[in-house]
Chain A
């Protein structure tokens, strides 16, 4: 079941599982670096102490011909100090800075990515100082780091106006968003669609009353076997009618809370709130609670267009991509306090809120999301990015369709979407996926992905 954990993320669930992801990756990398990757360059790790946040710099030792290329990577709230996302780059000759930020281990405290942007800027400036004027510095985001880094580059290229469009529910402030150093390229690895999208799709529409979440509307309960759920296999085959009602209910519940939060914000700003600045805002069963596609494998199953599929030991192919994930709808988690979205009015509006209307999730598409209503939306942010963009998604997970949507929204003239065959969300081979689908083992998916990143970088920055 541990590998199943790696295939789920988002909100608090993602946060709690991140450490495991990192530790697994770390162990895998250690074994790779000492036993398998005899070609890999020796790597030096240094704790960087002058960035205001903990950070670890990975460099090839000695520096080589690729060391003028450097990459900053960070997650919204996960610990990156193990260097597991930097060591593979250093082994291929690059400098890579794995940074934490002021919200590491505390996702609940984030109001918006604009609070983190100055920290990323310090990382970029630090690397620019190392690589010099002729060097290149990019940014890379994995999982919720994808929305974070895409937001950063959007803001760096376009300033605060990047997150102040007319559809934005909670426009960002000026502070920290002017004159940010631009990255030279952006890499997204199994990126989220955004924080707002993550929580919308986790919200349980069966809840009738927030103060008594155990009272449920059975007709909207994705864990009710009469609706198609099978608790013995954690899988489901929902009808079109149930899906329609469920998604409408999810959208309605979430939009209601957005309206409530906006009403409370108006009261706070009129000095009629409980507090002078903000208020607590808690939504039971809205964080890791009820994501409809987790048990139903037919949803988000494939891309609409063909893309490059990267397999271990086999030349890349171009084809429509199919997810090889496993069903993972766990009812018991729905009841825990851990699946309550505990936030504040401003933090909910800033980070979690996103509008939806008549939204759909099908085999190969997601529609009805107003991506421009949240600054955390990756599809929205890549519309403002002009530098080269690589999107690397994992077919052992469910961000297949999200990856294609991000790609379709991206305005970069130089953009590419590839898929790592059989990689789970963390990047390693999904052994459960292979077993579940009766497929041969997927091989060294980590090496496949990092090697391709190297290939992509080498093609652009000789």
Chain B
């Protein structure tokens, strides 16, 4: 995890690294807002705007966003910002995905009802993308959006966990949003682990054997194109076999989890309510995914570029429209971490796996072979049901600019939508100092100015 320059965990590091700057801009008195239900909030009032009419909610799924850089960056520019943690903060195994809409609701309702804010904008950074788009899709379409026989898990439309009657936000900003924690898990799972070797047996009767990977699918075998010292180069044939096998392994785990869920319902499982799901070399089970086996992390030619010309904001503030190629660096160090329990293993439960880490597919990278609406943790599925103004931003030194293009071109239903990449920024919205094409020293300021202007133009302050 610590070694993974391009892993999503960089988001967390980036957020924390930004703290010194945030402190210097800190608002007079950020206030802790206990929103109830285990949901935490810190309210950042804009010193320069005593009567704000527009507020931004910043929230992830499990990461601590109470001190996200956007809290101070946007409040400094005159917006009220409510930075939130969901009830699942810091705990992937605790996630029961469909409930997270109720956590976002607490923030929206607080801003609308207590702070009397007229316009609420959702800001979804990284895993905040699936969170905010799920909320907004349910708010606009109702619970039918998150229900149906094709869903691995479903929301409730009555009772204490009902997601009916959510108040829609007025706008949505995605910041290097990923297409789903579910899809991240699909792309991170190492298909070279033999099926029998991660059927976990626990307790004093355990008989656990060391993992012996299938060579032809081993992404960290130099004979398959892996370079432990630089950029890897996987063949097209290997890529096709690998990404298809990733989907196979994911589907096997889905079937196993569904079987356990069924047996629990019949009273034929060792626990009546839940159980552990432990996926060896499935990528870590922390926000950011830990050390996954995503092919495009060691091989930067995969997921390198947008398909069509897209807007690229450069360090001098100018915007060009072109095919955007990521300037990210390869990271072969994930190979070591992928073998670890701490950094490379999904340590989840049946509930957290099926609701937030599983998606049906026949290939992990081909958008047309992923059943996007088989899960409610899916940005592409949600965006098809969202109509409010949408700004899609992505970071030019990461890899989600490829997904961002897909969101914008093929899934977003909003009539008012825009897609823009910020050159040289890492996933954590900090500049990449080692990437080609730099320096990118102005990009943090450029980024937040662009967001603020987009909001101000549409909603005021």
Contact = CB atoms under 8 A, between A and B. Distances in A.
Same assembly:
yes
Interface of A: 19, 23, 26, 44-47, 49-50, 52, 54, 56, 79, 81-83, 102-106, 108-109, 209-214, 256-257, 260, 272-284, 335-338, 340, 342, 344
A275 B203 contact: no
Choose among A44, A45, A79, A338 the residue with the greatest number of B CB atoms under 10 Å from its CB. A79
Contacts of A281: 202
Contacts of B201: 211
13 contacts: A19-B37, A19-B38, A46-B29, A79-B38, A82-B32, A103-B90, A105-B88, A105-B90, A211-B270, A273-B208, A275-B345, A336-B274, A338-B274
Given A277-B341, A284-B271, A104 B203 contact: no
B303 interface: no
B204 A344 contact: no
B316 interface: no
Interface in B84-121: 88-91, 93-94
A167 B159 CA distance: 52
B100 to A, nearest CB: 14
A256 B30 contact: no
Given A105-B89, A211-B203, A274-B210, A47 B32 contact: yes
A49 B67 contact: yes
A282 B339 contact: no
A81 B34 contact: yes
Nearest to A56: B32
A212 B270 contact: yes
Interface of B: 16, 19-20, 22-23, 26, 29-32, 34, 36-38, 40, 42, 64, 66-67, 88-91, 93-94, 200-206, 208-211, 270-276, 278, 280, 336, 339-345, 347, 349
B208 to A, nearest CB: 5
Per CB-CB distance, the 7 closest pairs between chain A and chain B, nearest first, are A210-B203, A275-B341, A337-B274, A282-B202, A337-B271, A47-B30, A278-B341
A5 to B, nearest CB: 15
A272 B210 CA distance: 7
Contacts of A105: 38, 88-91, 94
B283 to A, nearest CB: 14
Nearest to B278: A280
A26 B33 CA distance: 12
Contacts of B273: 336-338
Given A49-B26, A209-B205, A214 B270 contact: yes
A337 B93 CA distance: 12
Given A49-B26, A104-B90, A344-B341, A213 B32 contact: no
A45 B43 CA distance: 12
A237 B21 CA distance: 61
A26 B90 CA distance: 23
Given A273-B210, A274-B210, A337-B271, A106 B30 contact: no
A283 B272 contact: no
Given A49-B30, A82-B32, A275-B345, A282 B276 contact: yes
Q: Which of A49, A56, A278 is most buried by chain B, counting CB atoms within 10 A of its CB?
A: A49
B38 A278 contact: no
Contacts of B19: 49-50, 52
A282 B278 CA distance: 11
Contacts, number: 146
Nearest to B93: A108
A50 B23 contact: yes
A279 B198 CA distance: 12
B280 A274 contact: yes
Given A56-B32, A211-B270, A284-B271, A275 B349 contact: no
A280 B204 contact: no
A139 B22 CA distance: 28
B22 A49 contact: yes
B205 to A, nearest CB: 6
Nearest to A257: B204
Contacts of B202: 210-211, 280-283
A36 B90 CA distance: 37
A284 B270 contact: yes
Contact of B208 (A44, A274, A336): A274
Given A79-B40, A274-B208, A54 B23 contact: no
B341 A210 contact: no
Nearest to B67: A49
A213 B270 contact: yes
A280 B276 contact: yes
B40 A81 contact: yes
* Residue of A46, A83, A256 with most chain B CB atoms under a 10 A cut-off: A46
A288 to B, nearest CB: 13
A23 B36 contact: yes
Given A109-B90, A210-B203, A280-B345, 4 more contacts: A104-B89, A274-B208, A274-B210, A337-B272
Contacts of A209: 203, 205
B90 A340 contact: no
Contacts of B31: 45, 47
Contacts of B341: 274-280, 344
B339 A54 contact: no
B342 A106 contact: no
B340 A276 contact: yes
Contacts of B30: 46-47, 49
Nearest to B20: A50
A267 to B, nearest CB: 9
Contacts of A106: 90-91, 94
Contacts of A19: 37-38
Nearest to A268: B341
A358 B204 CA distance: 22
Contacts of A108: 91, 93
B27 to A, nearest CB: 9
B312 to A, nearest CB: 32
A210 B211 CA distance: 23
Nearest to B43: A47
Given A46-B29, A49-B26, A26 B280 contact: no
A340 B271 contact: yes
Nearest to A213: B270
B442 to A, nearest CB: 24
Nearest to B272: A335
A249 to B, nearest CB: 14
